[in-house]
Amino acid sequence: MECARGPFPILCDHTGETEISCALGVRRLANSMLTIVFDLDGTLIDTAPDLIDALNFTLARHALPTVPYAQARSLIGGGARGMIERALILEGRSAATEDVDALYASFVAHYAEHLADRSRPFPELEPELDRLAQVGHRFAVCTNKLEWLSKRLLEALQLADRFAAICGPDTFGIHKPDPQMFRATVLKAGGEPHRVVMVGDSITDIRTARAANVPIVAVDFGYTDVPVATLGPDRVISAFGELPAAIAALGPVKNVMDDQSFIGQQY
């Protein structure tokens, strides 16, 4: 039965719980509170300007060619190591482990001091977080950026206090798309795994949600090199103002995520 109680319910049996259908079946969610777990880069925050600045600073410091912004933006995703490797390959250079290790160390050192120079929250984020928090929902961050860098970034943007947990691969020693990282983040935030929605921008986030058996809303303004809608999320939004309605509209969709070969990387 359809029910209009609360901001998110779409199917309600009037027992105090809501049923949300996703690609892996019907999930039963409490009306009183959801834990909404966000990815960071390309989802909450437009970090591309500072990531690309750090990449090009690092390349120039090592007497390597820099990468134009438009090209470099498509390199983001899968972590800083992956971005460095793809930048080297783009220039026809070797991406040997020892070379990447040296570049990675330089990248992190520079990025840590400049991670909020030009990075900003995506439009409408803060008022929508206010709106969702007012009705009792809690928030967490689950990212493949290192926890200490993630916290430093969110603190610099005065957003850290909004999240009950901010977790990276160094928090638990695992990274997305391992569902254990996601589940551990939910528990650290004080949430319950069966009362969760994920929000992300990438193949990694979608695979994480599928592995954790939770619904996912994807943003189409992130850093994927293909349209995120083609990757099989449950819903797609183009602005944060659409997020509450997207959660409310979650319904059965086809799970097309069959390729399990991806392995996430760290920032």
| pLDDT confidence band for 81 (50 / 70 / 90) | confident
Distance CA 110, CA 95 (A): 20
Max avg pLDDT among 25-34, 48-57, 82-91: 48-57
For tokens 């943003």, the residue is 219
pTM: 0.81
Q: Which residues are known to be catalytic? A: 39
Provide the pLDDT confidence category of residue 189 given band limits of 50, 70 and 90.
very high
Q: Which class does domain 48-114 fall in?
A: mainly alpha
Every domain of the chain with CATH number 3.40.50.1000 lies at 32-46+121-248
Tens of pLDDT, residue by residue over 51-65, are 999 999 999 999 999
The C-alpha atoms of residue 201 and residue 27 are separated, in whole angstroms, by 22
Greatest alpha-carbon span in the chain: 65
What would the pLDDT profile of 211-241 be if each residue is shown by its tens digit? 999 999 999 999 988 899 999 999 999 999 9
Question: Cα(53)–Cα(114) distance, rounded to whole angstroms?
Answer: 9
> Could you tell me if 181 and 142 are in contact, meaning their C-beta atoms sit under 8 angstroms apart?
yes
Check pLDDT > 60 for residue 4: no
pLDDT tens digit sequence for 149-188: 999 999 999 999 999 999 999 999 998 999 999 999 999 9
Up-side HSE of residue 220: CA atoms within 13 Å toward CB? 15
Instruction: Reply yes or no on domain 32-46+121-248 having CATH 3.40.50.1220.
Output: no
Predicted local confidence at residue 14, as pLDDT: 34
pLDDT at residue 16 greater than cutoff 60: no
CB-CB neighbours of 57 under 10 Å: 16
pLDDT in tens, 95-135: 888 889 999 999 999 999 999 999 999 999 999 999 999 98
Percent of the chain with pLDDT over 70: 81
Side by side, the strands of the sheet bearing 165-167 are 165-167, 138-142, 35-38, 196-200, 216-219, 235-237
What is the model's pLDDT at position 256? Answer: 35
Residue range(s) in the chain whose domain bears CATH number 1.10.150.240: 48-114
CB contact burial 212-229 (16+ within 10 A = b; e otherwise): bbbbbbbbebbbbeeebe
pLDDT at 263: 31
* Contact indicator for 145, 267 with CB cutoff of 8 Å: yes
In 3-state terms the chain splits into helix, strand, coil percentages (rounded to 5) of 40, 15, 45
pLDDT above 90 coverage of the chain, percent: 66
